[in-house]
Amino acid sequence: MSQTDRASAGRPRRARLADALGARFGVDARALAALRISLGLLLLADLLLRARHLRALYTDAGLAPRAALAGQYPAIRYSIHALSGAAWFQVLLFLLAGLLALTLLVGYRTRTATALSLILLVSLHLRNPAAMNGGDALLRRLLLWGTLLPLGERWSFDARRREGAPRRWVAGLASAGLLTQVVLVYAVNAALKHRGELWLRGDAVRYVFSLQQFSLGLGDALTAFPALLRAFDWVWLALVSLAPLLVLSRGRFRTGLTLAFAAAHVGMLATLRLGLFPLISLAALLVFLPSPAWDRVEAAIPASLTRAAARAGDRFRAVGAGVRRPPPTVRRSLSAVRRAGRRLVPVVAATLLTLALVWNAVALGAVPPPEEEPGGLDLTRSPWSMFAPTPAAVDGWYVAPGELESGERVDAFYRSAPLAGERPETRAMYPSVRWRKYLVELRYSGDEARRRAFASYLCARWNRTHEDDLERLTVSYVEQPTRLDGPEPTRRVELLRHECRG
């Protein structure tokens, strides 16, 4: 027995238990800094990707006007983004969110930047809930737990402004909640996958890669190797089933397991159109890397970069020192508020952790749902059900054949000659991941108001860019069941006929 082990064995049992829990549920402060930087970059990337389709997805002139969404998504009234349907208003909020993301990235007033970024992100998601996916849900939760954790403790402007040595390790209910939240994503997904025959049989990944709306070029190529895809199926199922070991294990085993999850998400990024989900998942995994890993990261940072960051921080600190400080009474009040906030953190963290555990237990059917849904939330639906219990067995895309004033026939969705129902190129199926999520959900929602709004948008988009106006169109969804081996016939489902004028 080593001297360290003998010293540990001689300590009271309660102290040894606290050390064991702290080692497993604590987080290196540099991991929190890396998470903060990743969140800032992800928020910026998310805004840039959404901005490409800002008019279509977030204004009343688009395919999802507020009035059309309100019937099915009453929570839209709580969205700041829904205060106006004008494009300029959305641009203003996008710019504000981008500024806050940059502030979070560099770690200035980190807790405030994190909280305000979370508020604007939730507001954006409420503006068009039909375009959200599991990655959005995880990003919200990472920001939520980030408001309770010292994300600016290291590698930040806040750290340069702070007196005294920074903390190396952060352990408490907030860090436990963050780690547990990430584990729940995988554990719940694993539980749902075990209920699906395709995952247990080894065919689920083949079905996923057969969906043209998801598959990238490399994914298409892998469909020629069914045995390899079957192996990927069982490896991923085993990996998500082992997710609790991310917090129960330590040392090299935890590092290896974390890297295995990371490799799987890199594979998703290279083969499937999932938006930012794989990158958000990679950011979430950073907090599981132990201190020795971060020691190597710091050692690999060039000295010139460290000196440049230090000089920037010193200049920033000098500028801050020149700003007139508030009166002593105000400073005392702010200090009192901060102290009260620090005392509340464990209470809030315990409440959030309990809610997360209960929500996921309800979603798995382990706990009966409440008689009344709180805030209109359906607790039986889990945001972590991606491709579970089984992936979709039907691919699909839209066609919108219409007639112009001249009598010519065109497809208003693809802005081309009408398609005969054949499968279009993958990139042409949907303009973006957000479009795909919204329109596939629209196909099965049965919401006439939203379908009519979509058709009106297609009319307006065509007529805004063409001299020969569109007079009428038919919106249809083409379904193509997956057969894996053999022909895959299509079936066109007509959703509505629409007159563009009047």
CB 169 within 8 A of CB 289: no
What integer pLDDT is reported at residue 87 of this predicted model? 96
pLDDT band at residue 502 using 50, 70 and 90 as cut-offs: low
Q: Which residue has the tokens 């490799």?
A: 263
Higher pLDDT, 425 or 57: 57
What integer pLDDT is reported at residue 427 of this predicted model? 72
What integer pLDDT is reported at residue 8 of this predicted model? 52
What integer pLDDT is reported at residue 317 of this predicted model? 62
Higher pLDDT, 344 or 194: 194
Please provide the average confidence, as pLDDT, over all residues in the chain: 87
Which among 148, 140, 142, 167 is positioned nearest to 110, based on CA atoms? 148
What integer pLDDT is reported at residue 325 of this predicted model? 60
H or E stretch covering 497: strand 491-499
pLDDT band at residue 400 using 50, 70 and 90 as cut-offs: very high
pLDDT tens for each residue of 422-444: 677 777 789 999 999 999 999 99
CB 109 within 8 A of CB 59: no
What integer pLDDT is reported at residue 373 of this predicted model? 66
The C-alpha atoms of residue 124 and residue 105 are separated, in whole angstroms, by: 20
- In this predicted structure, the answer to whether residue 240 has a pLDDT above a threshold of 50 is yes
The C-alpha atoms of residue 216 and residue 501 are separated, in whole angstroms, by: 39
Mean pLDDT to the nearest integer, 38-51: 97
What integer pLDDT is reported at residue 319 of this predicted model? 56
Higher pLDDT, 197 or 165: 197
Q: Which residue has the tokens 């402004």?
A: 161
- In this predicted structure, the answer to whether residue 419 has a pLDDT above a threshold of 70 is no
Mean pLDDT to the nearest integer, 321-330: 60
Domain range list for the chain? 20-363, 394-499
pLDDT band at residue 372 using 50, 70 and 90 as cut-offs: low
What integer pLDDT is reported at residue 332 of this predicted model? 61
pLDDT tens for each residue of 67-119: 999 988 999 999 999 999 999 999 999 999 999 999 999 999 999 999 999 99
Tokens, residue 172: 């408490």
Residue 302 vs residues 38, 106, 298, 306: alpha-carbon distances, Å: 20, 18, 9, 7
pLDDT tens for each residue of 441-497: 999 988 899 999 999 999 999 999 899 999 999 999 999 888 887 777 888 999 999
Instruction: Name the pTM for this structure.
Output: 0.91
- In this predicted structure, the answer to whether residue 300 has a pLDDT above a threshold of 90 is no
What integer pLDDT is reported at residue 206 of this predicted model? 92
Tell me the residue ranges of DSSP E strands in 178-337: none
pLDDT band at residue 4 using 50, 70 and 90 as cut-offs: very low
What integer pLDDT is reported at residue 298 of this predicted model? 85
What integer pLDDT is reported at residue 1 of this predicted model? 46
Tell me the residue ranges of DSSP E strands in 314-460: 394-399, 401-404, 409-411
Q: Which residue has the tokens 């969705």?
A: 413
- In this predicted structure, the answer to whether residue 215 has a pLDDT above a threshold of 50 is yes
pLDDT tens for each residue of 117-156: 999 999 999 999 999 999 999 999 999 999 999 999 998 9
pLDDT band at residue 46 using 50, 70 and 90 as cut-offs: very high
- In this predicted structure, the answer to whether residue 375 has a pLDDT above a threshold of 80 is no
Of 109-113, 188-192, 231-235, 367-371, the one with minimum mean pLDDT is: 367-371
Q: Does 389 sit behind a cis peptide bond, omega within 30 degrees of 0 on the bond before it? A: yes
- In this predicted structure, the answer to whether residue 2 has a pLDDT above a threshold of 50 is no
The C-alpha atoms of residue 43 and residue 141 are separated, in whole angstroms, by: 13
What integer pLDDT is reported at residue 425 of this predicted model? 76
- In this predicted structure, the answer to whether residue 371 has a pLDDT above a threshold of 70 is no
For the chain, helix, strand, coil in percent to 5 are 65, 10, 30
Of 101-105, 332-336, 404-408, the one with minimum mean pLDDT is: 332-336
The DSSP bridge partners found for residue 411 are 401, 416
